[in-house]
Structure formats: structure tokens, C-alpha cells
Amino acid sequence: MKAIILSAGQGRRLMPLTAELPKCLLPIKGHSVLAWQLRALRAAGVERASVVVGFGADEVEQHLDEFPLAGLKTRTLLNPIFDSTDNLVSCLAARAEMDEDFLLLNGDTLLEPGVIARLLTSDPWPVSVAVVRKAAYDADDMKVSGSQALLTRIGKDLQAGEIDGEAIGVSIFRGTGPRAFVETLEEVHGQPDGNHRWYLSAVDLMAKRGLVRATWVDGLGYAEIDYPEDVARAETLVSEWGTRLQSLFAPSGAAATK
């Protein structure tokens, strides 16, 4: 299994923390967000990861070189117009990697390996999205609507009566899903505002076509890091995870071939 991590953006909402540092390199309890993600992927058995970079691309590549992981091969892919586009374009920068089953992660989502493991063991479907239930949802949440496991909508604009959960920023594409996703990305990108769309607008369109299911990950830890105050919350969450996640940073042995 391979993973694609979307880490091209600067994260302007995190200023001044990201004035010079890519948001994927923000330190959380002594380790970057990207390092936490890569180790969670490796712990779940993922063997390859492609990181889509843009802002601070050289720093991200250096970070990967300095902290290689045994058992996980990494590479970077460049979105050269990251500063004038949204993450749908970053997905298109990785379309050549979408020729087989893959996981897709937002570069600002910290999660424990159990989230990935639950996706990997979920019932096969073209697209499965990790979803949690919350007591309340705000305007910035990527909300979902559906019947049982089948999703019919994904978007920030869903109204209270139609919300069933929140997509936390990690999905799996299997079988016919990767090709269908690429085709839908290209379809959405071809629209007048295509450069300024989220990739989940393509997943939303696929949901309307019956191709998307929810994988419920209630009870498993995650944190989306969008604002400076989210960093403190992520650090608290990591502290609560305790030794079972700190063990991800035990010595890993020989470096993986890049």
C-alpha cells in the first residue's frame, strides 16, 4: 500500500508560525507533523509515501533526508503553483501515483495509526473516508451526509439537519476508485474555478454517484492543525496518547532506500 500526503501549502492561517516554516514541519512534542504521519503510516504497514510539496519544498526534502524510516520509502512531488491554487491541484500533481490502491492524507492532520488501520481493514469500496461523529460542527468542518455507511455529500456547506459526521482528512481509494478519482479531479479542474477547489469537491461528486463510503473512526485520536491554537491542542492529544505513540519514535534501524 502507498500513501500520498498533501503538504504543499504554507498554512497562512497558522501565521506567524508558518512565516518561514512549512506547516507540515511544525513541531508537535518534539517531532514534525510530517514525522508523526510517516511513522503512523509505517506502523500501519504502509511501505511507500509520496509527499506533495510546494512552500518550503527544499526544507521538506531535507527533513525527509535527515530522518529516514526503515521500511518506508519516501519521495516528493512538486506543486509549482501551490501559492495560487488549492489542494485539488496538489492532487493532480500526484496523479501518476494514483495507478493503484492508495491512502490520501491532508498534510495538516495528525492521527494515530489505528485510524489508518481501520481504513485498511474496512470493506472494499472505491473510496472510503475516515469520519467521526461530533456533538457540534462549525463552519470550517468538512461535514458529511449519508445513509448508513454510504455517503451522499461531503462539504463545508452542509446544514445542521443533514450532517452525519466530519471527514477528518484521510481516505483510501481502492479497485476502480483511483482511476475514477483522477477522472473526477480532472473534471472538476476543468471548471472555471478549478484551480481554487478542494479535492474533496471531487470526492463529493463521486459520493453523489454512489462511490463513497464512510469508515467510522470514533474513539481514535486525531487533530487537524489549521490555527495556532490547534498546535497546543495537538500537543495535548499526543500527551494523552502516551507511550503507545511515543514508541513510534523508537530507533528504527537501517534507513529505507529513497
Which pLDDT does position 242 carry in this prediction?
62
Sorted by sequence, the CB contacts under 8 Å of residue 253 that are 6+ apart come out as 70
What is the distance of C-alpha 116 from the center of its chain?
11
pLDDT bin (cut points 50, 70, 90) of residue 209 is very high
Is 85 a member of any domain? yes
Is 196 a member of any domain? yes
Is 254 a member of any domain? no
Pairing status of strand 127-132 against strand 109-111: unpaired
pLDDT bin (cut points 50, 70, 90) of residue 20 is confident
Is 132 a member of any domain? yes
What's the pLDDT tens digit per position in 67-108? 888 899 999 999 999 999 999 999 999 999 999 999 999 999
Domain span at residue 76 reads: 2-248
Is 153 a member of any domain? yes
Is the pLDDT confidence value at 244 over 70? Answer: no
Full-model pTM = 0.92
DSSP assigned state of 132: E
Is the pLDDT confidence value at 254 over 90? Answer: no
CA dist., res. 8 & res. 54, Å (int): 4
The neighbouring-strand residues paired with 28 are 31
pLDDT bin (cut points 50, 70, 90) of residue 198 is very high
Is 114 a member of any domain? yes
Is 255 a member of any domain? no
Looking at residue 55, which CATH number applies to its domain?
3.90.550.10
- Span 107-136, mean pLDDT? 94
pLDDT bin (cut points 50, 70, 90) of residue 233 is confident
pLDDT bin (cut points 50, 70, 90) of residue 214 is very high
What total number of domains does the chain contain?
A: 1
- Span 27-55, mean pLDDT? 94
Amino acid, res. 171:
S
Is 142 a member of any domain? yes
